Structure 1
Amino acid sequence: MNNLSTISFPPFVLLMLCFTLSFQSSHQSHHHVISIHSLFPNCSSSKGTKKLSQSPSTLEIHQRHDLCWQPTSSSSDTTKSTQQLLEEDQSRVDTIQAKLSKKSKKQDPFQTKKITVPVQSGRSLGTGNYVVRVGFGTPKSDLSLIFDTGSDFTWIQCEPCVKACYDQQDPVFNPSNSKSYTNVTCDSQLCGPKLRSATSATPGCASSTCVYGIQYGDQSFSVGYFGVETITLGQDVFPNFYFGCGQNNQGLFGKSAGVLGLGRNSLSFVSQTATKYGNAFSYCLPAAASATGLLKFGSSNPYPRTVKFTPMLSRSDGASFYFLDLIGMSVGGYKLGISGSVFATGGTIIDSGTVITRLPPAAYEALRGAFRKAMAKYPLGKPASILDTCYDFTGYSTITIPKIGLFFRPGIEVGVDPLGVLIAASVSQVCLAFAPNGDPGDVGIYGNKQQVKLDVIYDVGNSKIGFGPGSCN
């Protein structure tokens, strides 16, 4: 029997062996190996999703059912679904950019003649892709709401739907069946600048009742009575919650009952529950439609050491949004040579409703170049809408992709889950899930596709945002 301890190698062989092992270890640590099957969401198995442990202040997060699709290499309907998702996402981004642009004139649903015109085919409000269940009224009715960090105002559809209500999964809320509902009167101090700041529209008045309106760049909107109601999250009950009781709602909201606004305005859910939850919330977004995420209100004191914090910035032109300081990016373990001024010109927000991360043109070009170089062995595919770096993985069962990291002040790196790097229209059209802005001065947006499976902590009271290992599947 040979004794390995007696075998000797020439020095150059040992050197080459060490180099090879070192290279393989480095390559594996800076890349992901993923199956092609994992790139395609499937909602059919959602009923089997395991339940996650949660506290009374924690809600389960699910993807909107209307966003589920099952891509195949030959399905034209699949391509259409992905195309629509990207178009809706761009619609939301256009609205955010318009809201933050000093040159843009904000629309007012009480001053436009288009308020009763149905939303254009294939366009939507684009308010978000994740829903949670919230109780309204006494006795309570549980409703599925899109939760949105990019808006402030909470509203739901209400009977009698004086003008129009779109189709939703749950029965439409009837305020006349609730013992705790009241209307806000026109002479209330809230029916003025405060309501306008939350909706970007001047309030109206109907039979002494305050009327809200919220409209978006694609003409989607909700108009209705400004009311006060008791809402319930698990075992936590909040009386005197101000919200919108929608009587005329048009847009592609899926099957949700409305929107839960988690922005920074005084009328947002975060602000109205600050006494209980301390102006803090966090979420973990599921990577797959069949998985479950968590939306938790309240803070942890102290936070786990694994959580990395970056300062939450403030801007006078975007109080609704959560600004942070993106300062760099990495691909495959190498930090890209992007000047910090590239990101600083337009600034960056983090948004739960935008799907695809938007970057300044120069930053995107650097990312695209590095990613394409790392993926050179794979054949390019046809671009998909706003996505120009796509691949044809026909015949592949697994692929190797470079890890992508985002750097935030003061230098923390937040990795992107492998399922957040790519988005699939079909096996022959799998694309890098990042896109460029049209102008260097446009705000960058850290989208939800790149946030999946992270614990994202909004400690609004202490003006910081944290990122840690995800607590969801």
Structure 2
Amino acid sequence: MSIHRDLFNIIVIVLCVCLNWDCTKGVQGRREIDSHIIQLSSLFPSPSSSCVLSTKASNTKSSLHVTHRHGTCSRLTNGKATTPDHVEILRLDQARVNSIHSKLSKKVNDRVRQSQSTNVPAKSGSTLGSGNYIVTVGIGTPKHDLSLIFDTGSDLTWTQCEPCVQTCYSQKEPIFNPSSSSSYYNVSCSSAPCSSLSSATGNAGSCSASNCVYGIQYGDQSFSVGYLAKEKFTLTSSDVFNGVYFGCGENNQGLFTGIAGLLGLGRDKLSFPSQTAKTYNKIFSYCLPSSSRYTGHLTFGSAAISSSVKFTPISTITDGTSFYGLDIVGITVGGRKLAISSTVFSTPGALIDSGTVITRLPPKAYAALRSAFKAQMSKYPSTSAVSILDTCFNLSGYKTVTIPKVAFSFSGGAVVELGSKGILYPFKMSQVCLAFAGNSDDNNAAIFGNVQQQTLEVVYDGAGGRVGFAPNGCS
């Protein structure tokens, strides 16, 4: 009897140990699946001065290297990364977001006025903001290589031009001189492209000696005024376009910090994708680098798009604007879907924007995200807020940190898991913040910003009416 009892006790002990081990293994497995383990040092600029080039940009036709304007790889920094003023970046970011919301809020009123008058009303100011990412484009004959911000929320491409009749801000490269180019032509103020300026810039074209004059002002009060012109644009040796409409700015002011101008990737007919539609069919993709010492890519056309891209339809919320609309249907934190009513997203709508830095969410959605994230970060001490970022942690003394994964679900079944660099915004070791912010109004659109887009392949298919995402887009 004693032998049977002892044997039974042994079996029970073994079962308990095995069950406990399996349970622990299962929890640990789930924890690894639903979280990122980050080396804290990777959140901050590397002391290394070397630039690591994207193989995709180097080896793909119709592809340009994307660099961070303050990074090692930027033509503007001479290979020495500069430290950006993060508080100023966030201030300008909020100015851009305010401009986007203003433009969207006026869309309905614009439609009403259009139905009552043959005059197309001007849209509200454009949305530049901090403009973190740049590409190099050749303009003119012979070509003049210039660093341009690329912006999915703007339409008109422009650069500073000689002569600067009033003011030109300081830029790193020599200012473009149209008189030195054999392929430059001013556009007549009676032409259809001049009439299109209202929808592309928010301001109607005007005349100067029969030449078309454009003017565009951005949400941060920067502006560019000059001649609408046609010129040769060279992306790569095999991708050369004659007669591209662009702005040749002779009066320019703003916080562009050495950049020559802007490449407009919006949806208006004067945008670069629309003007090159016969070649690229309004398709382009990009990957924003995760670090200032890496490059990403901006690629035109569909040839190099990953087979793993998942698409979501462009929503109607942004019809009549430059922007690419999205339908967000859910957010997951640490493998758990947040309890957010579908109307929280559907009522204001959403859009994706290459120029907005921090993703903005409706107040109720942000509150749910913040609560879930803080609950899973409870072992790390909290610290004070910075600017628009109100959920921050003091990670001094840690070498690694475990953070919950965050994923967005979009209409059509596309699920986008953010990279680890798309979740935190680091100021210093003692102040690392959740890289999301809430809108002040339930009726303001959500914006999927560029911090969250880092390392993703993001595909814009204007002709197909869809936007797509895939992981590991920069390699």
TM, length-normalised to structure 2:
0.88
**Structure 1 residues 53-452: aligned runs within 5 Å:** 53-65=58-70, 81-102=85-106, 125-126=128-129, 128-192=131-195, 194-234=196-236, 235-300=238-303, 304-315=306-317, 318-452=320-454
Output the amino acid matched with 2:156. Answer: F
Distance 1:103 1:238 in 2: 33
Asked if structure 2 preserves the Cα contact closer than 8 Å seen for 1:66 and 1:254, the reply is no
Spell out, residue by residue over 1:221-269, the C-alpha distance to the aligned partner (whole angstroms, 9 max, x if none).
1000010101011021100100000011111012210000000000000
Spell out, residue by residue over 1:388-407, the C-alpha distance to the aligned partner (whole angstroms, 9 max, x if none).
00000111111110000001
Distance 1:29 1:327 in 2: 22
Asked if structure 1 preserves the Cα contact closer than 8 Å seen for 2:63 and 2:300, the reply is yes
Which structure 1 residue ranges, 5 or more long, are not aligned?
Answer: 1-6, 69-76, 107-114, 116-123
Q: Which residue of 1, 22, 28 corresponds with 1:24? A: 28
Spell out, residue by residue over 1:3-58, the C-alpha distance to the aligned partner (whole angstroms, 9 max, x if none).
xxxx9752222111110110100101111110111111348625354655332300
Deviation at 1:67, TM superposition (A): 11
Asked if structure 2 preserves the Cα contact closer than 8 Å seen for 1:35 and 1:399, the reply is yes
Distance 2:72 2:219 in 1: 21
Output the amino acid matched with 2:447. Answer: I
Spell out, residue by residue over 1:94-152, the C-alpha distance to the aligned partner (whole angstroms, 9 max, x if none).
1111111129999xxxxxxxx9xxxxxxxx94152100010100110010000000111
Identical aligned residues as a percent:
53
Distance 2:257 2:50 in 1: 17
Distance 1:306 1:105 in 2: 40
Distance 1:55 1:374 in 2: 41
Distance 1:44 1:228, change over 3 A: farther
Could you list the runs of 4 or more consecutive aligned residues of structure 1 that deviate by over 6 angstroms after TM superposition? Answer: 103-106
Distance 2:182 2:455 in 1: 40
Partner residue of 2:122?
Answer: none
Partner residue of 1:458?
Answer: 460
Distance 1:147 1:383, change over 3 A: same
Distance 1:174 1:462, change over 3 A: same
Distance 1:274 1:348, change over 3 A: same
Deviation at 1:187, TM superposition (A): 1.6
Partner residue of 2:76?
Answer: none
Distance 2:47 2:277 in 1: 35
Distance 1:393 1:425 in 2: 11
Which structure 2 residue ranges, 5 or more long, are not aligned?
Answer: 1-9, 74-81, 111-124
Deviation at 1:220, TM superposition (A): 1.3
Distance 1:167 1:438, change over 3 A: same
Count residues in correspondence. Answer: 440
What SS class does the counterpart of residue 368 from structure 1 fall into? helix
TM, length-normalised to structure 1:
0.89
What SS class does the counterpart of residue 421 from structure 2 fall into? helix
Output the amino acid matched with 1:466. Answer: G
Asked if structure 2 preserves the Cα contact closer than 8 Å seen for 1:66 and 1:255, the reply is no
Output the amino acid matched with 2:287. Answer: C
